[in-house]
Amino acid sequence: MLAYRQHLTVKNPQHLLLSNLPLKVGQQVEVLILVKEEIVEENANFKADKNNPTNNPTHYSEAEWDNLEPELRRELETQYILNNPILMEQIKEKSEWVKISPEQLGIDLKD
């Protein structure tokens, strides 16, 4: 069984549109929808602020940045991207289907 992943934002809870699927007419599929955790809502309230060094990675000097914990650096980078509409639009434009295995999704098909 092959698995494909595409990240979407729900615009209408009554419909979810999947397009450009790498499937053939008549092919049977199983659809699994994974909802991101509620932490996404908390992140939506986060606003990048160049006057606040705790949440804007561009405020750090290279030496300060290198001394931060890797997990904190990843979180700051992620928040910066999530709150930058231009970067988010570029990511959406480049979104594509990627083949992933059920094992990568944590699904055991041996049942």
107 located within any domain? no
Task: List pLDDT tens digits, range 24-82.
Answer: 999 998 888 888 765 444 444 445 444 454 566 777 888 888 888 888 888 888 888 88
Q: Which residues constitute the domain of residue 40? A: 3-100
d(CA 70, CA 78): 12
Q: Do 95 and 6 contact (CB within 8 A), yes or no?
A: yes
89 located within any domain? yes
- Indicate the pTM of the whole model: 0.36
109 located within any domain? no
59 located within any domain? yes
Q: Number of folded domains in the chain?
A: 1
47 located within any domain? yes
**Which residues are bridge partners to 100 per DSSP?**
3
